[in-house]
Amino acid sequence: VEAVLAAAEEQEAEKRRSITVEKELELEYDLGNLLALDRNPPPAAALRGAGPRREELLRALARDNTQLLVSQLWELPAERAGGAGGPLVAQLPEPTFRLPREKPPPKPRPPTRWEQFARLKGIRRKKKTSLVWDEQAKEWRRRWGYRRAGGDPSRAWLAEVPAGADPEEDQFARLRREKRERVARNELNRLRNLARAHRAGSAVPAAPLHPTGHQDRDELRRVARVARVSTASLGRFQPRLPKESAEPPSRSGGKKRRFEPLLGNLAAERSRQLELLRDMGGKKPVLDITRAVNKQLRQEEAEAAAANKGKKQSKRGKRGRRQQRPGRSGKKSGARRQPQQQKAAGGGAGG
Amino acid sequence: MDALDRVVKPKTKRAKRFLEKREPKLNENTKNAMLIKGGNANLTVTEVLKDIYAVKKPFAVMYKRKNITRPFEDQTSLEFFSKKSDCSLFLFGSHNKKRPNNLIIGRMFDYHVLDMIELGVEKFVSLKDIKNSKCPEGTKPMLIFAGDMFDVNEEYKRLKSLLIDFFRGPTVPSIRLAGLEYVLHFTAVDGKIYMRSYKVLLKKSGCKIPRIELEEMGPSLDLVMRRTHLASDDLCKLSLKQPKGLKPKKKKNISHDALGTTYGQIHMQKQDLSKLQTRKMKGLRKRPAEKSAEDGGATPKKSKSA
């Protein structure tokens, strides 16, 4: 029996000899890129001499390396594509060799003005049903669009005159005009949001550039401030425009970098120092309840948002960003309206 | 400029698709290469460019006219071309007395030059000179790099990365095994780089894996490295950064043990064991006599509670 096994092994080895290649160091393979890296130093002396001998050596080296790479590729899980008679197709793994990208990865678009406001106020998106019950037609109709629930608004035959309106005015014309204005305003806002996102993405420098027209509000404000400060007395004696703010916003920030004059209000200074001593000396730490509660709520909201984002990130583009969050409005508004109720809890937590 | 700052709103669906193809994406398109002739390109260099174009079709753009620029001094024209044709790889050929048969191979990141390496062509054998049958256009080549210089020397490492990027072709999930016809072999020896292309013939061997025979086919180049313009380390790191969305998602509740068995975890809600549906064994069913006895025993309890 052993003799038979040995003979079988011999045969196997004989068969494999045609495809085995001996190498000092193993090659590194990246099959996703069909790549093989050979670390063995090639025979430099032999390759120095020019002519066909060099070509032969290079070809032999290439043959060996290719044989090894192809052996690796043939080891991959393969299947017959397109039924039994189709070509043999191997599943390639992901490429491992790190190559630089062509362009930087896409940045998520910045939130629109409404999205910022909604986040600030804690307004969440109410999920609406797509069909509404139409009492008139006694069936389920769409909320908007073709054959909507309230009937076609362009064929409305009745337009009530509102209380304070001019009786001679054409109500239908007014409705049509208002719709046109609404559409135009929405389109303008949409384009502004797009421009803002585009600007945020490309990081255009904030220096005032545009000569005339097409300047937005922030830029005009900036330009006006720069113009005011470019006088000899740095804008201290410039008259102000009717709607401009009385005190200029300090360039180096708001509240934190404001310094009081040195020899000013003695009483204020005294009271401030005494207050400081009292806060430092007192046993109980001073806690601003509203601030603490709001901060906590913000944090919780941020955590919930992060968790939700991780769970349900859809690629639906702009619409997909508005996610449904678990209802928390009761707790938050409750806290804002009644900070006193939380005092016990706050005091307990602080003390 | 004002015009470049503005948001270009596309007016047709075709324009919209065109812009969407060019914007940054999570999974990027295959990199295109542009092949440019310098002001004084000679026949050798032109032939090299034409051969590389044949290898890299359809992911290459060949510029027919001569462009008088010096990439190492001024990169703005290259960046402009890259932006216009949405190509992130380039090969610039020129020839002068100081640098004969010069090829500058380079790549871009965000339409700015990332790496550039200048190579001199010492010997060139074109596709036309070797009278063999060629493999079809657009075949994904196998790439092999031989020589320890490609790992030891920093410039050679970058060159290796550049060459892989250049000749890689589209990334495919699966490949037809019989279609592995083309191999590019780079050897780094003695300060020179030998690039050879072979056509692969799969011969029968005793077992499943075929025996390889190579036939010299396509362009073969003997290159020597001249100047380099490599990106700084932080720019390199920035370009290598992959966005988080590309990481493969972990499959939860599945685990494997050392012997190859796959285990799955199922999370159940709390079950009411008294209401479990089990198999009904006819022999174990309650006889009517037993049932009445139990009922008799059970009812006093009920009357107590009521």
Spatial distance between the Cα atoms of A205 and A225, rounded to a whole number of angstroms: 17
Question: What is the average pLDDT score of chain B?
Answer: 85
Q: Is residue B169 part of a domain?
A: yes
For position A350, what pLDDT does the model report? 42
Buried b (16+ CB within 10 A) or exposed e, B38-68: beebbebbebbbebbbbbbeebbbbeeeeee
**Can you tell me the mean pLDDT for B63-70?**
90
The tally of CA atoms less than 13 A away on the side-chain side of residue A194 is: 12
Query: Quick one: pLDDT band at residue B108, thresholds 50, 70, 90?
Result: very high
- In chain B, the number of structural domains is 1
Domain that holds residue B167: 29-232
Strand partners, A278: none
3-state secondary structure (DSSP) of residue B74: coil
A53–chain B Cβ distance below 8 A for any pair: no
Q: What element of type H or E holds B92?
A: strand B89-94
**CB contacts, 8 Å: A195 with chain B:** 6-7
Of A59, A65, A104, the CB nearest to B110: A104
Indicate whether A39 pLDDT > 50. Answer: yes
Q: Is residue B115 part of a domain?
A: yes
Whether the complex's predicted ipTM is more than 0.85 is answered with no
pTM of the model: 0.65
* Better-scored residue on pLDDT, A42 or B187: B187
Burial of residue B147, with CB atoms counted within 10 A of its CB: 0-12 exposed, 13-18 middle, 19 or more buried: buried
Spatial distance between the Cα atoms of B200 and B134, rounded to a whole number of angstroms: 10
Burial of residue B36, with CB atoms counted within 10 A of its CB: 0-12 exposed, 13-18 middle, 19 or more buried: buried
Q: Is residue B125 part of a domain?
A: yes
To test the contact with chain A by mutation, choose from B183, B216, B244 the residue with the greatest count of A C-beta atoms within 10 A, namely: B183
Q: Report percent pLDDT > 70 for chain B.
A: 92
Q: Is residue B5 part of a domain?
A: no
For position B134, what pLDDT does the model report? 82
Q: Is residue B184 part of a domain?
A: yes
pLDDT digits (tens, 9 = 90+) for A186-207: 999 998 888 888 777 666 555 5
Q: Is residue B158 part of a domain?
A: yes
Indicate whether B153 pLDDT > 50. Answer: yes
To test the contact with chain A by mutation, choose from B1, B26, B187 the residue with the greatest count of A C-beta atoms within 10 A, namely: B187
Spatial distance between the Cα atoms of A73 and A89, rounded to a whole number of angstroms: 11
SS3 per-residue string spanning B238-301: HHHCCCHHHCCCCCCCEEECCCCCEEECCCCCCCCHHHCCCCCCHHHCCCHHHHHHHHHHHHHH
Q: Is residue B243 part of a domain?
A: no
Of B144, B176, B198, the CB nearest to A38: B144
Q: What is the CATH number of the domain that holds B54?
A: 3.40.50.10480
Spatial distance between the Cα atoms of B48 and B101, rounded to a whole number of angstroms: 10
Query: Quick one: pLDDT band at residue A211, thresholds 50, 70, 90?
Result: low
Q: Report percent pLDDT > 70 for chain A.
A: 79
Q: Is residue B261 part of a domain?
A: no
Long-range contacts of A93-97 (CB under 8 A, 24+ apart): A93/A31, A93/A32, A94/A32, A94/B248, A95/A30, A95/A32, A95/A33, A95/B171, A96/A30, A96/A32, A96/A33, A97/A30, A97/A32, A97/A33, A97/A35, A97/B161, A97/B164
